[in-house]
Amino acid sequence: MYSIQPSCWSEHGELTAVMLCAPSCLDVPDLKTAENVQWSAPVLNARAMENFMELKGTLQHAGVKVIDYSTELQGEAKQLSEQLLNRYFVRDLACVFGNEMLPGEAGSSIRRPEYGHAHALLEKWFPKNFQASKETGDVLEFGDVMVLNKDAVLINIGVRTSKQGVDRVKEKLFEAGFTEIGIIDLPRSSDTLHLDMNCNVANEDVVIAKSFMRYFPVYVMTACSTRFDMAEQFFNRHGFEVYWLEKYNTIPDINFLNLNPETLLVSKKATKQQFKNHPLLQKKNIVEIEVTELEKGGGGIRCMTLPLVRKL
């Protein structure tokens, strides 16, 4: 059990505790194998581990408490986990909403074992915060979820998250203190797999988003009513200007992480000039790290980090 008390009310507050997981011990030796496991290119474990250590070290240097759950596994669970290729994409496994932590449910069978491993540890570490649940088939991966602020949560239903999965947790989100849940249904393709491959919070008042999202409505739920907004209206009502990107490299340009209100952690492959082109982002401290080998798995820095505590 850790002395940490999970608490997250935004995507941009100062990050003080995070869960990671080291990559598996396996190489993905050739392009055919990579395609079969839905990765973009072959991956060498040694390089992936170098990337992971740079990510972990950068977070620790910034004063963030880092928990690598792979070091806590034992016996058969440890042996199995070391062969799970996607286990370092911890964002999908669970999410802290306010002071409550809810479990995800895998939208792909290849990922199901790691959910069980992580949930057992989270329940052990945070028994007062983690709300365990049985598998229902109502899938929900938290790469599809953004905690915008103390009032609003945005969720994408698509390849890996179902409407039934949202229904399973919506009452718990209202009980946690959020007043609105926005549901958006984005295209189902490898380039739009999760919400955080389409948009991300870059500042307390700026969301970066792919330009096509402006055409999509958001179904807005409160505890007692429903309505529709367009995506930009939804963000605007909750205090965010939308910075629409016409050109982008999906994973490095969209999938970054807020270290604190002044600092973004980004891939070395990210188009840094896109941040400088927006007046509200020009003073951002941009910290670059090498995660190219890890990105070949189909996700970026946000996918690889599960925030446990962000300061208000």
**Who contacts 205 (Cβ-Cβ below 8 Å, separation ≥6)?**
239, 240, 241, 280
Average pLDDT, the chain: 96
Cα 27 to its chain centre, rounded Å, is 24
| In the predicted structure, residue 1 carries a pLDDT above the cut 90 | no
pTM for the whole thing?
0.96
The Cα–Cα gap between 169 and 103 comes to 9
**Predicted local confidence at residue 109, as pLDDT:** 94
- SS3 of 170-214: HHHHHHHCCCEEEEECCCCCHHHCCHHHCEEEEECCEEEEEHHHH
Which amino acid, one-letter code, is at 253? D
Phi, psi values for residue 103, rounded to 5°: -80, 145
pLDDT, average across residues 137-165 = 96
Q: What is the CA radius of gyration of the chain?
A: 18
The Cα–Cα gap between 31 and 39 comes to 9
For residue range 197-233, what is the model confidence (pLDDT) as tens digits? 999 999 999 999 999 999 999 999 999 999 999 999 9
Burial of 79 (C-beta count, 10 Å sphere; 0-12/13-18/19+)? exposed
Q: How many CA atoms lie within 13 A of 64 on its CB side?
A: 29
